[in-house]
Structure formats: structure tokens, C-alpha cells
Chain A
Amino acid sequence: MHITLSINGKDHELDLDPRTSVLDALRDHLDLIGTKKGCDHGQCGACTVLVNGRRINSCLTLAVMHEGDAITTIEGLGTPEALSPLQAAFVAHDGFQCGYCTPGQICSATGMLEEMRAGWPSHVSEDLLAAPDLSDAEISERMSGNLCRCSAYTNIVAAITEVAEARDEAV
């Protein structure tokens, strides 16, 4: 099928087998290899991208279903010269070891902070109607869809907390 995908603000025309996932379209057809393939079944979160600002598993959705959607990958969040706040915080806090899960962690955290800002509760929120706390428990729960085999979780939570606090101060 001939489709147009909007990725990181740029349109790409592609001829794709309908079976192609967004993940495979990014990696195998557009050479955007920042997004990683871990389990390919939605269990590890390494493939997380943002679609219209929402974090999703790019391995579990078909590219042909996303014409007209705004897809953002790790390449669209920052560059080596101009890191996004979360990218910089992951570096500062050593939020990784091997780095394979990191693009997914950062895309996921980017979407997750917007969810918190919108006031969405989580499984660990005591009050469904109150603004969520920026606690370690809240961040861990909200990031549970991203596994880190190196177990850098403590530093990942620290990195995300720093960015979230800086944002809160800026508001």
C-alpha cells in the first residue's frame, strides 16, 4: 500500500506491506533506528514512540493505520547537539547502562509527564480526583511499561523527577 506517514514533522511516502508495524516502518524503511525492537509484543516498551503526543508501543500497531497522525520518535525529541531536557537528565543521572531501552524510556517519560500534567491518576494514586504527587512510587508505576534489563531504574526515576520538578517550577 502507498501511504504517507508524518514523522518528526516531516512527511514520508512509503510503499508498505499492510503487515508492517510502525516500528518496522521506522527502522527498516526510514532508517530511523533510534526506536528499538525488544520483545516485539508490547511487553518491554523499547519501541515506545509518541503518536499525536500519546506514548504507544510502535510494535503493536500497523503503519497503514497511522496516515495523518503525528509520529514522534527519539530522533524528533532532541539531537546530540541539542538534547531534550529528559535526554540531558538521563545522561546527568546515569539513567542507563547498555542504553538499549533508553529511547523507549525517554519517549515514554515524555508522554508520561504530559499525562501527569493533565492530572491523570495512576494505580498508586490515593485520590482519583487529586492532582498526582511527583513521588517515586507514582513515577515507577507510570513507567512500568518500560523494562530495563540493566536495572537502572533508580537513576531513571531520578532523571524523570528532576525534569518534572524543573517544569513545575517553570509553571
Chain B
Amino acid sequence: MRPFEYHRAGSVADATTHAASGAARFIAGGTNLLDLMKLDIERPERLIDISRLPLDAIEENEDGGLRIGALVSNADLAADLRVRRDHGVLSRALLSGASGQLRNKATTAGNLLQRTRCYYFYNPALPCNKREPGSGCSAIGGRNRIHAILGGSAQCIATHPSDMAVAMMALSAEVEVMSAGGEGRRLPLAELYRLPGDTPHIETVLNPGDLITAVLLPAPLKGRHIYRKVRDRASYAFALVSVAAVIKMDGATIGAARLAFGGLAPMPWRDRAVEDVLIGQSPSSALWNKAADRLLAEAKGYGENDFKSVLVRKTLASVLSDASVREI
């Protein structure tokens, strides 16, 4: 690992100021960053340790939602009684990710900002536009079984690996950000991420020094919460395809629907047009297929990942069947 300067931040302002210049990175859980530094993929010159900042609380908002501090561990968030009771899809998504050890260390904001697990991003011997801009994409025309079928570009088809972020996207979460200049702002999680386009190395809209301080969940969504993850082994593996769903029945028809998808795209994927297909309709296989058609209208396979279109269609149908059982 390359040498770096270590700074333990005493406050949010201290952290953002120290991160604003040079090749600096915040470190909290460190489970992804240190992994990548050992492989010489992340090369920070300065690490700002934010792990002792007071950002580890889950608080109730006036609107009935939750404010989740950036440093709340994935384990604590999944186990929080309010999350288990009112935002089940989020608890389920978290529990499906990583291992017990990693969930104890990994933080909420770190999970959002984790890097892709594309084989080529992880292999400095081969070209990767995300790691070395302009070097080329080895996945296009190479091994791309785990890669994106939505939202990719000719420069990059890497997927975002988070489960947690998929559930948060379905819940319309927002992100609270503090800038190096001391200005706070809020943005929808969907607006945090950037699609790769011609600049796959730029993954979010955050500026140097910006620190995510919290994730805001709106008031609880009634209905059935389901997170279904399809992967190569039953535990401790990234999703090939995942579906986060919150479905509220209104008698025999679907009253409200939230859907987000993992494993398909460079960011947790939500397409409101898919939800619109379902609203006011009666559950049926034909309807599930119509929703999948809408989701996959722009889908593009690259050979080895062609199966994802079929897999997400089947997974979506299975989730929607389970979620749309008429409430008694």
C-alpha cells in the first residue's frame, strides 16, 4: 500500500476542510477503501478518519421518517426496530448483503459510495475506463456476466454493487451533504449518482470535500415490503439481479407500487414508468410481463450477461405475485 497522511477529524467542518484539496479520501468503515488501497486501485495521499464524528444516530423526523446518520453501521441499521417494523425492505436488503463482520463495520454513507466489483476495475493489469480514464473497457467484448444491461455506455458497463441503496431508492430516500464551505444541501438519492457516459470514473455529483452526513427516509410506506436477491451462492455474494418492492393493494387492484433494481445498472435503478404500469391494475402474469417490458425497453446485453433480462423478468414476476396478494 502507498503511504498516506492520516488525519483524525475532530468535527464535520474539520473533515470537509481537510478533504477539499489534493487526493484525499474520507475513511470510516474502510471495508471497501482499504481493500482497494491494498490493490493500488485507490491511491489517496491523505486519509481523513471520520469514524469518531457524531454521525451515528438514527433519529425520528417530524414527518414520521427517519434520519440515518452517515456512520450508522449496516448491522445497526438492519437491526433497528423502527427499520424492521416500518421499512422492512431496507432491513431485508441490508441483511442480504456482505457478511456479519462486514455489516458491523460498513457504514451507511460508505455503502452508498462503494465502488463496483467489475473484475477489470479490480485488475490493474487490464484496461478499465473507470480506473484509468481513456484506457478502454475490457468488459465490453470480454467477460461480462455480472455487468449492466441498463444505463451503461460504450465506455463502461460496471454495476453498482449495493443492496442497501436499491431499497433506499425504492423508499425515495434523500441524502444530506455538507460541503467544504460549510453549506448543507439535500438531494434525492437518485440524483447522487451519475451514469457513466464518457466519464465512468466520475460516479456521483459530490464535489471534493463534500461529506454525506445522513440519509433521510420519508414516512413509512404501507404495503408489502420485499427484497429479493438472486446470486451465485446463497449467502455472502453480490446480486446478479435484485428487486426491491413495496406494493400496497387497494382491494383487488394495485394501489401503490415502488420498485427498484440491483445488479442491472451502474446505479441502483428505479424507473417510475414501470411503477405506473402497475398502478390501478389487477395482478396477472400479463401485467408482470408488461412491467418487465417497460423496464427492459432500453436494455442491452453484452453476451455473457444476456441472461439478466430473463432473470429480472422472472424475479420481478415472482416478487409481484408475492407482494400483490389481496390483503384480508
Contacts and interface: CB of A to CB of B under 8 A. Distances in A.
A146 B124 CA distance: 27
A120 B79 contact: yes
Interface stretch (B31-39, B151-159, B300-308, B319-327): B31-39
Of listed A19, A57, A118, A123, residue having the most chain B CB within 10 A: A123
Contacts of B38: 40-41
Interface in B154-170: none
Secondary structure class of chain A's binding surface, majority of residues: loop
A145 B27 contact: no
- Give the interface residue-count category, chain A: 35 or more
A108 B4 contact: no
A115 interface: yes
B150 interface: no
B84 interface: yes
A128 B101 contact: no
Interface string A71-113: 0000000000000000000000000000000000000100110
A145 B102 contact: yes
B105 A60 contact: yes
A156 B144 CA distance: 36
B216 to A, nearest CB: 21
Given A1-B6, A60-B34, A129 B84 contact: yes
B135 interface: no
Given A121-B84, A121-B95, A18 B100 contact: no
Contacts of A18: 3-6, 47
B78 interface: yes
Contact of B92 (A118, A120, A128, A142): A128
B30 interface: yes
B266 interface: no
A61 B34 contact: yes
A109 B40 CA distance: 32
B96 interface: yes
A115 B95 CA distance: 13
Interface string B160-185: 00000000000000000000000000
A55 B101 contact: yes
B6 A57 contact: no
Contacts of A54: 75, 104
Contacts of B79: 115, 118-121
B281 interface: no
Of listed B8, B84, B88, residue having the most chain A CB within 10 A: B84
B6 A144 contact: no
Contact of A65 (B1, B5, B49, B84): B49
Contacts of A140: 235
Nearest to A141: B235
Contacts of A64: 6, 8, 49
Contact of A123 (B6, B51, B235): B235
A19 B98 CA distance: 24
Nearest to A145: B99
Contact of B35 (A56, A60, A120, A128): A60
Given A41-B35, A115-B100, A145-B236, A57 B105 contact: yes
B42 to A, nearest CB: 13
Given A61-B105, A115-B75, 19 more contacts: A17-B3, A19-B3, A40-B38, A41-B35, A48-B101, A55-B101, A55-B104, A57-B101, A60-B34, A62-B34, A65-B30, A115-B100, A118-B79, A120-B75, A120-B78, A120-B79, A143-B100, A145-B99, A145-B102
15 contacts: A17-B3, A18-B47, A55-B104, A57-B102, A61-B30, A64-B49, A65-B8, A65-B27, A120-B75, A120-B79, A121-B78, A121-B84, A121-B91, A141-B235, A144-B100
Closest 7 CB pairs of A and B: A145-B99, A144-B235, A18-B6, A128-B84, A144-B236, A120-B79, A54-B104
